[in-house]
Structure 1
Amino acid sequence: MISKATVAFIQSLKQKKYRQKYNKFLVEGEKIILEGLQEKFISFDSIYCVSEKEVLLSETDIKYNIIDAKTISKLSNLKSPPGILAIANIPSQPSIDSLEFNGVSLYLDNIRDPGNMGTIIRTADWFGVKNIIAAPESVEFYNPKVLQATMGSFARLNLINAEIEELPSDIPIYSSLLNGTKLSEFEKPESMILVIGSESHGVSQKIQKLSTEYLTISKSPYSRAESLNAGIATSIFLSHLTSS
């Protein structure tokens, strides 16, 4: 059984202000929950599942509750609830001074689309990027749509909100623009911060002025596209910048 108060609390976590108030967020899906339990990269408070999913949790020592499918559908953020969800604690944000800026780190300049944010986090995890710093105006890391798009990668990276001026001044900043140096001609440094601009406005003038250099993805002379999706552009950049 689950009380009405608990149902209301879990439902409140669908809103940013309550995630911030309670410092908790919802996690859905057996894959990410089981991986989080096994690898201990997510701090869970409690787990809720339908009876058919109980076998998945038989060997865990964390508290879990069996609830009916109707109730879990009320709690879920998804059109097709997976039958298992958990309440997790938002981890403390590491200080910028504690980070190691080896290789490529990402700075996201006002990325607002949850799908793009989630794709960027998942892509960064694939290419071994450890630090993602986002401007405060960017979409929240623990937005449910962001979390779903990351497929669990959010728990394996350093996710930080900060202004660009807070980053180490000795790490060069490279902004992704349409009129920059072609990736094929760029000699990557040992450490760098790659800036991905917003979907609608690109990299801000403020960050452009702080940049060491601009970088661009070559466009076919036959292309009539105005720009690339931010998530796709990040994938192309990191594929080149992290290759040996």
Structure 2
Amino acid sequence: MVSKNQIKVITGLQQKKLRHSQGLFTAEGAKVISELLHSRFALEQLYQSEPVFTDIPAVPVTAAELKKMSSLTASNNCLAVFRMATDDVPAEGVFTIVLDDVRDPGNLGTIIRLCDWFGVKQVVCSKESADVYNPKAIQATMGSMARVSVFYEDLEQFLHQKNNVYGTFMDGGNIYTSALPADAIVVFGNEANGISDKIAKQVQRKISIPRFGELQKAESLNVAMATAVVLSEFRRINPSGS
């Protein structure tokens, strides 16, 4: 059985302030939960309306109760509460995606999933970027946050004196004729405004994804789409390694 107070606590985790004050976050669905169960995130409690996980202690709930706890429009048959993990510091000398004020949690989650697909192990975000523990971000990762570390840093300090810092701009050099080294740091900007002026000063080389076709009327690419193209090109040049 689950009490009304427990439901209130769980729904409260949809708010960033309450998530971080308690160090807890929620994940929904068998796929995401199963990935996180085999990761650095410790399970606090599992709730399920059907026997999805039979080898883990779980609190049985009704579908109606689970719907009240869920942050999704269409709730799943299981929801888990996990404890946040503390990653040390970003690794040096590895390919790194940097997000400058990316606000949409769905974009953040998709970028994490893309990094997992292409074997990139860390994402560094500005402190103004979306919270990785936002339920929408968690769902968009589809469990990939189990293998990709996300850090929140002062980007000016983080990028200061770093080498091979690339930035994505509309007027940058053609990515298909650029050589992205294995230790490149690639910065992506805010969905509406791109890379901020203060972070642009830290960029050593501008790159761009060229438009093709006769009309070339498309204004821009979504930040997650752009990340997919850059990661694909990076792996074409660097087919192995981190």
Q: From 127, 142, 145, give the equivalent of 2:118.
A: 127
In structure 2, the residue corresponding to 1:85 is in which secondary structure? Answer: strand
Q: Which moved more, 1:20-29 or 1:182-191?
A: 182-191
Letter of the 2:201 counterpart: K
In structure 1, the residue corresponding to 2:217 is in which secondary structure? Answer: coil
Letter of the 1:146 counterpart: A
In structure 2, the residue corresponding to 1:26 is in which secondary structure? Answer: strand
Separation in structure 1 between the aligned mates of residue 39 and residue 152 of structure 2, nearest angstrom: 24
Separation in structure 2 between the aligned mates of residue 189 and residue 7 of structure 1, nearest angstrom: 48
| Offset, 1:125 | 0.9
- Structure 1 stretches (4+) deviating beyond 3 angstroms? none
| Offset, 1:35 | 3.0
Separation in structure 2 between the aligned mates of residue 59 and residue 136 of structure 1, nearest angstrom: 38
What residue number does 1:140 align with? Answer: 131
Separation in structure 2 between the aligned mates of residue 185 and residue 35 of structure 1, nearest angstrom: 37
How many correspondences in the alignment?
Answer: 235
- Deviation digits for residues 140-195 of structure 1, max 9, x if unmatched? 11111111111111221110000123326233210000111111211222311100
| Offset, 1:106 | 0.6
Separation in structure 1 between the aligned mates of residue 98 and residue 123 of structure 2, nearest angstrom: 6
Contact in 2 for aligned 1:176/1:197 (Cα 8 Å): yes
Amino-acid identity (%): 34
Q: From 210, 214, 219, give the equivalent of 2:202.
A: 210
TM-score by length of 1: 0.91
1:167 equivalent in alignment to 2:166: no
Contact in 2 for aligned 1:94/1:158 (Cα 8 Å): no
Contact in 1 for aligned 2:23/2:84 (Cα 8 Å): yes
- Deviation digits for residues 89-143 of structure 1, max 9, x if unmatched? 11113223xx1432x2011010011221111111111111111000011111111
Separation in structure 2 between the aligned mates of residue 209 and residue 34 of structure 1, nearest angstrom: 42
Q: From 36, 55, 59, give the equivalent of 1:59.
A: 55
Separation in structure 1 between the aligned mates of residue 140 and residue 79 of structure 2, nearest angstrom: 16
RMSD: 1.5
Letter of the 2:224 counterpart: G
Q: Structure 2: any 5+ residue segments left out of the alignment?
A: none
1:86 equivalent in alignment to 2:70: no
- Deviation digits for residues 22-50 of structure 1, max 9, x if unmatched? 0100110011222333x344311010011
Contact in 2 for aligned 1:182/1:217 (Cα 8 Å): yes
Separation in structure 2 between the aligned mates of residue 186 and residue 80 of structure 1, nearest angstrom: 43
Contact in 2 for aligned 1:24/1:89 (Cα 8 Å): yes
